[in-house]
Amino acid sequence: MKAFINGKIYVERNTFTEAFVIEDNRILKTGSNKTCLQLISETEKYSVIDLKGKTVLPGFIDSHLHFLMTSEYLNLLPIADVTSIEALIKRCQDYIRDNRLTDKDILYTEGWNHTSFTDEKRMPDRLDLDKISETVPVVLTRVDRHVMSLNTAALVYFGIDEATKPPLNGEIQKDASNKPSGILTEGAVDLVKSKLPKKSRRERKKQLVKTMHSANKVGLTSVHTNDAKDDNIAETLTLYEELENEGKLTLRFYQQIWFNNEIYLSDFFKSRYAFHEGTAWNKIGPVKFFIDGTLGSRTAALRKPYTDNNESRGLLTKSEETLYKEVKKAVENDYQVITHAIGDRGIETVLNAYDKVEKNQLNPLRLGINHMQITDYELIERVKEKGYLVYVQPIFLNDDIPIIHERIGKERASTSYLFKTMKDKGIHQSFSSDAPIVSFNPFYNIQCAVTRKRLDSSDDYPYLPEEAMDIFDAVDAYTYEGAYASFEETRKGRLKEGYLADFIILDKDIFQCEAAEIKTITVAATYVDGTCVYKSGGFDEKQVDN
């Protein structure tokens, strides 16, 4: 039994206590120092941890990321910080030289963002990447993972030419001579992804363990991970199962099952996996679908053309009827559903499909929309009426603020990224990072939610400042709402009696510090299932024998 005393323990909005007691993996008691010390004094052996005034929160829950991809991404050549095509070329050239890559190798990495380029704000094509190498296949994926650039050697390696037909939900862009330009979008990237060399299971598990420790360090105790996909579902899910059996999980996983191709749906529903099958550490979650792309790549599906490209309204990756049939099949098999939708046309398509499936029900399976960025009040009202969940990423403002107005214009921008409006309407809105697209550090996300500014900009004007969330709602969106999205709001996401002992101790008070300083907060200790899985050098537990 352990008692944590002299702290500022967050219970719920405007409610704090100074102490709590945990026994095994549960919170046994919350209250005053006196009450909690009296309780443990009646036991034979106990620990007393003096929090010395530190703030304690429930463990953070990231409701949508790609954890396995993140573990792989952290081992790639970093290119997220490059600010020009020229710099991108130079960094890749240096990497090929330093690592002595040959035509037998592949240079694959992720993270470029052409909206941040200072020379030319365009996507790099095969002619650009041919300057990196004419012999080594080079594949560079955009930060949002919806666009991929290949050099000529890579096009040859992956068998992509003018006769190659892309999947229905993707595009192989062509140049003036009708040859592949080297740019693939949406589902077409699978022509490459499916053929990339894979690390061994041992290596992948080792990377997962390392990344779990990195997640614990920033306060994550649970994540809803979207890794298992189409034809690799069992292969991916068993990685997590093996790690659990080996006692190596320090993070709880809720598995979002990703389908780009509906042909795999029926076999999955006939498999051994069932919704919510598993343990408190690792269980099957919702089926995940896509309906459109991203704002940065102009593939998010819009009702009206892009302001900076009147010939494009983005891309619906499937028809409304197809999505309806997929959602219907999932619901008939008692599965929750989460669908990626960024543009207003994409969101409307998802709502139409959901409404048709749900009919007069009020969302018993907690169907949700991931991203929900380019909106209007009518769409938000439809979400509220049926009780659909939304999974949002305030951290996306860090990249999107410079491009929002040029992409969609002032009118649409004025009704987009409406986090506070959705919260005020009572919509269940959880925070997530979508890592590896951005860092999974929750403090970055929270800061963007409460400031409506870019992380490193102190003098810019906030984007729709009236949509800034207060700190209580932002913290709840990363704790309680994440638990609600996995039907676990009565057992985690709060520091209350009977709840799982998943909590974090902060180095500074998130409720009192300046909003622009939230990103600098660090975690002194992280507990999952009552066990300390991370602690900084300044944190100590003192064992006391009665």
Backbone angles phi, psi at 63, to 5 degrees: -85, 0
Find the length of the chain: 546
Q: Round to whole Å and give the CA distance between 76 and 109.
A: 6
Q: What is the tens place of the pLDDT at every residue in 65-113?
A: 999 999 999 989 999 999 999 999 999 999 999 999 999 999 999 999 9
pLDDT at residue 381 in the model: 98
Given pLDDT bands bounded at 50, 70 and 90, which one contains residue 458? Answer: low
Q: Where are the domains of the chain?
A: 2-59+504-544, 107-194
- Helix, strand, coil percentages in the chain from 3-state DSSP, rounded to 5: 35, 25, 45
297 CB-near residues (< 8 Å, 6+ apart): 123, 142, 144, 146, 147, 185
Amino acid in position 269: F
Angle among Cα 462, 147, 120 to the nearest 5 degrees reads 65
* CATH, domain range 107-194: 3.10.310.70
Q: What is the pLDDT of residue 483?
A: 98
Percent of the chain with pLDDT over 90: 90
What is the rounded (10 degree) CA torsion for 32, 37, 40, 44? 180
Helix axes 201-217, 233-245, angle to 10 degrees: 70
Question: What pLDDT is stored for residue 545 in this prediction?
Answer: 44
CA dihedral sign, ordered 115, 116, 119, 123? negative
The 10 Å Cβ neighbour count of residue 171 is 17
Amino acid at 145: R
pLDDT of residue 315: 92
- pLDDT (0 to 100) of residue 83: 94
Q: Cβ distance 200 to 470 under 8 Å?
A: no
Q: Which CATH architecture fits 2-59+504-544?
A: Roll (2.30)
Residue 468 has pLDDT above 50, yes or no: yes
Per the omega criterion (within 30 degrees of 0), is the bond before 436 cis?
A: yes
β-pair type (252-258, 15-17): unpaired
Question: Residue 364 above 90 pLDDT?
Answer: yes
- 422-to-90, 303, 366, 419 alpha-carbon distances in Å: 44, 21, 16, 5
Residue 512, token pair as written in the block: 């009192």
Q: What would the two tokens of residue 237 be?
A: 């899910």
For the ranges 130-144, 149-163, 167-181, 221-235, which has the lowest average pLDDT?
167-181
**Contact, 350 vs 337, CB < 8 A?**
no
What are the tens digits of pLDDT across the range 111-165? Answer: 999 998 999 999 999 999 999 999 999 999 998 888 999 999 999 999 999 999 9
